[in-house]
Amino acid sequence: MDQIKLKARAKINLGLDVIRRREDGYHEVRMVMQNIDLYDMIAIEKTSNKGIEILTNLSYLPTNEDNLIYKAAKLLIDEFAIENGVKINLNKHIPVAAGMAGGSADAAVVLQGINKMFCLGLCEKELMERGLKLGADVPYCIMRGTALSEGIGEILTPLPAAPYCQVLIAKPGISVSTKYIYENLHVDEITRHPDINGIVEAIKEQNLIKIANKLENVLETVTVKKYPIIEEIKDFMKNRGALNALMSGSGPTVFGLYNEKEVAMKAYKELKQSGIAKQVFLTNTYNEKGGLQYG
């Protein structure tokens, strides 16, 4: 196999809780992760010359070792002493620095693609172990689907597929530093924690209304306070038929869940026209687990 084309899907957090700050500075979390059908396209090509070449449709993305997909490729090339080089073409659609694990999803796909292309024989668990070296979300992005994420994100429990629904995505024209959000989250002062167990049970019951009613993200206590536009977008969605709306990850992206496509489409059009968000997408939940997602 000399080339391969794959899809790297974004995720949203149906629930996100922070349990404690560890002595090493990392935060222990409990999150319910869910893929959506919004994805980057990644083409990997084997080259005769050594080295890693990255091409991308966005001029501001790094194409050197500062890019997570470069690090992912280098990790396997170095470990298995691969003599060929690779050219990776990234066609980016997932919003950047948006709380949707776009960079982690890209890195996950590169690990999977190189494993397949060079017949390295790594199983999913072995890929996830290597992915953790690149970032806490990478193991989930290899597993995909619906999952409970614990620890720093590396302890994953697969869940039944969440009910299919429309997902309206909006990213305002701001950038949020995940580091800043966690540094300003005072875990010992949190008085209300998301009902993660309740979300898990609602997923097992296939009860979309119950899932929507329990959407909660403890990081909103920091992000929304600093960026009120996030709450404005949430209200916009809820006032236009969303079952509920929530910030994903550390933000600033907001998603709304809809059980009627026509209502979701109307909200999508109005949100685009409003100008309160820089990027707006209408997609749906996506639940295929494991394996390669060919483009």
Question: 99's torsion region: left (phi>0), alpha (psi -120 to 50) or beta?
Answer: left
d(CA 188, CA 49): 53
Q: Of 17, 40, 106, 137, which residue is the catalytic one? A: 137
DSSP the chain: --EEEEEEEEEEEEEEEEEEE-TTS-EEEEEEEEEEEEEEEEEEEEESSSSEEEEES-TTS--STTSHHHHHHHHHHHHTT--SEEEEEEE--SPTTSSS-HHHHHHHHHHHHHHHHTT----HHHHHHHHHTT-TTHHHHHH-SEEEEEETTTEEEE-PPPPP-EEEEEE-S----HHHHHHT--GGG------HHHHHHHHHTT-HHHHHHT-EETTHHHHHHH-THHHHHHHHHHTTT-SEEEE-TTSS-EEEEES-HHHHHHHHHHHHHH-S-SEEEEEEB----SS--B-
Are 171 and 252 in contact by the 8 Å Cβ rule? The answer is yes
Q: Of 11, 171, 214, 234, which residue is the catalytic one? A: 11
11 is catalytic: yes
Residues designated catalytic: 11, 137
